[in-house]
Structure 1
């Protein structure tokens, strides 16, 4: 897993982080589900996970913000 952080968050990244913070997201493999629906950006879940902004205890299931994700969301 990469520890690279995105230099800036785009609108979609911030919206996904807000949805994760609200408990509305899960992973199904690398795919991020929001309210049970696949995110249109098929790489968003993997990108946020690889950046260390979200974390899941398993490959399939609910996700949560990491400390870095919380800081990025608070700064946005």
Structure 2
């Protein structure tokens, strides 16, 4: 999946909520080829969506992290652009 192929309309409500949580600094991600997302310390119930967001380049993994560890999740520039219109949506 290419980050350029993703637009706001193509994201599910759950994916949008995950991106908002990352933008709010409430999410962690595991350093892995299939990174798992945790929000408020709890694992997301839809890890396949978390994987798609990471593989699409919307959520960044920090360079040099220890495999298997949890690190703060960050949005990519494209992810930030997608989240901006969601800022007022609860």
TM-score relative to the length of structure 1? 0.83
Say if 2:64 is the partner of 1:65.
no
The answer to whether the 8 Å contact 1:56/1:63 transfers is yes
Superposed displacement of residue 44, structure 1: 2.3
Q: Deviations over 1:36-64 (max 9, x none)?
A: 10000021221111111110213531111
Unaligned runs of 5+ in 1: none
Unaligned runs of 5+ in 2: none
Structure with greater strand share of residues? 1
Larger Rg: 2
Aligned to 1:3: 2
Runs (4+) off by over 2 Å: 2-7
Q: How many pairs align?
A: 75
